[in-house]
Amino acid sequence: MKNTNSQKRLSRGYAKHSKKNKTQITASIILEIIEIGAVLITLSTVTLTLTLLLTPVAMFCIFYKYRIFELIN
């Protein structure tokens, strides 16, 4: 199989410098966990915001559908 640009092997000199020690690997894992946590917090915040914004709209639609405004008067 022919190597494409994205599959070229690294030269030996570069491969030696790209090795990570245990501390760098641990730091990379911790940063990935923090990044995933930030994404989850952002998603939950957006979901909560949409819920709070759309609840009054949904209530108005339900009230209008069942003519609750007319019953109140």
Give the amino acid at 22.
Answer: K
Helix (H, G, I), strand (E, B) or coil at 71: helix
Indicate the pTM of the whole model: 0.51
Residue with tokens 């245990």: 22
> pLDDT tens string for the chain (73 positions)?
555 555 566 555 545 556 779 999 999 999 999 999 999 999 999 999 999 999 999 988 888 888 876 777 6
